[in-house]
Structure 1
Amino acid sequence: MTGNRYGNDLGRLKEAIESADAIVVGAGAGLSTAAGFTYAGERFERLFGDFAAKYGIRDMYSGGFFPFAAPEERWAWWSRHIWCNRYEPAPKDTYGKLLELLDGRDFFVLTTNVDHQFQQAGFPRERLFYTQGDYGLWQCSEPCHDITYDNYAAVKRMVEEQRDMRVPSELVPTCPRCGKPMTMNLRADGTFVEDAGWRAAAARYRAFLEAHETGRVLYLELGVGMNTPIIIKYPFYRRVYENPEAIYACVNYGEAYTAVEIRDRSIVLDADIDAVLGELL
């Protein structure tokens, strides 16, 4: 992107934010990557070098699917993964910049991210919908009931007490009702638990969309790729297409584009999200 075009699009985005009646933020993995939560490279080697050496795992994402032979080893992996991506602070204040940018505006956030960074940055939970789950929650693997469980204390012990890529057997979590293994509350298949908090957030998001079907609505997409486009990207396209006053904005380094049908009401920035937010402020 040339300097002139970038500056022009940045100015258009700033104007769209300031003039919007409402802002719907759609956030994907690229936003957390911009905040420093990289899943490969130096950060992965530093945190998971032992797993990489033993099993040839090359990044955190693929490691989550590795068929560990023992639950003690599986939870050694997952406790580290949860701790560094959910409970430790983000390397950059990217989410804080976004909150500052949205301060005083009518907004709602839909995200496929499961790292809880919006709430860590101070976003009000009543304006958030984590549709794909939360690293900080466990559920029954069966599942025998639709309740999720906070895992902070258990994960902290696992991280502190694991040795040689294994947690003590007594720390392996089991369902308090049926005794089956616990698992992550992440949407991977039909066993994902949509608990009371999830359903309430979904209802609030639907209500926000219904209240802003018309008017100057900005659909601000940050770091959303094509992994699950039916959750954020395609619905944003459709809502902008159906509302002639709406604007679609996409900020995503290396993967920024729009639909041809709404090109005249789109702002596309192929740039680092953290840098863009800083310049907008």
Structure 2
Amino acid sequence: MKQIETMIQESDMVLIGVGDEFTEKKNSGDDILKAYQKLMELVKGKPWFLVTVNTDDLVYDAGVNSFFVVAPCGSERRGNVITNENYDESGYLPQWKYYMNWLASTIGKKLCVLELGVGMAYPSVIRMPFERTVQYNQKASMIRIHSKLAQVPDEIKDRSVCYDENPVLFLNKL
């Protein structure tokens, strides 16, 4: 666990991906809120951005600064989620553009990519792009925490740390 703190502290910037293991299907709402708060303590003082495929809005309930969050799969509270027939993606596009600009600013910087519970639901949103980011930015490193899918491709294995654990419970132990 100290290794995670060190990797984050030694980075210039932190890119966070949050997946479906951060939902109430896998954990209690209270544990998720505590984990988000622990996450914000970990990245305090660092430029960070968070991408989530979750639509439950718990990230906002935890007090995470929404200016640095993009949720391309939508919001249940707004009644606009990707699984709806009439899903309107225009709601997240301005924030996605801001995220893309932020991501471009990480080039050549020591970036810590922290992936929490991201499985194969919508892999083109977080999992695959995050792996490519680490592959192309030779100063980037990855921390992947997932109960079943914690492995990384060989191309980034030497700059990655993987934990086969529930990421919510893992963070709450820190």
TM-score by length of structure 1 reads 0.57
Name the counterpart of 1:15: 6
Name the counterpart of 2:100: 206
Name the counterpart of 1:158: none
Q: Tell me, which stretches of 5 or more residues in structure 1 are unaligned?
A: 1-9, 44-88, 139-184
Using the alignment, how far apart are the partners of 2:161 and 2:59 within structure 1? 24
Alignment of 1:108-257 (within 5 A): 108-138=49-79, 185-188=80-83, 191-195=86-90, 197-257=91-151
1:102 is displaced (CA, Å) by 1.9
CA contact under 8 A between 1:216 and 1:246: conserved in structure 2? yes
Q: Tell me, which stretches of 5 or more residues in structure 2 are unaligned?
A: none
1:191 is displaced (CA, Å) by 3.5
Using the alignment, how far apart are the partners of 1:188 and 1:278 within structure 2? 30
1:275 is displaced (CA, Å) by 3.3
User: What percent identity do the matched residue pairs reach?
Assistant: 27
TM-score by length of structure 2 reads 0.91
Alignment of 1:68-107 (within 5 A): 90-92=29-31, 93-107=34-48
Could you list the per-position Cα deviations for residues 202-230 of structure 1 after superposition, in whole angstroms to 9, with x for gaps in the alignment? 11111110111221101110001112211
CA contact under 8 A between 1:29 and 1:113: conserved in structure 2? yes
Instruction: Find runs of 4+ consecutive structure 1 residues off by over 6 angstroms.
Output: none
Q: How many residues align?
A: 172
Name the counterpart of 2:25: 38
Using the alignment, how far apart are the partners of 2:143 and 2:169 within structure 1? 16
Structure that is richer in helix per residue: 1
Using the alignment, how far apart are the partners of 1:274 and 1:190 within structure 2? 31
Larger Cα-atom Rg = 1
Could you list the per-position Cα deviations for residues 20-41 of structure 1 after superposition, in whole angstroms to 9, with x for gaps in the alignment? 1000001001122xxxx126xx
Using the alignment, how far apart are the partners of 1:24 and 1:210 within structure 2? 12
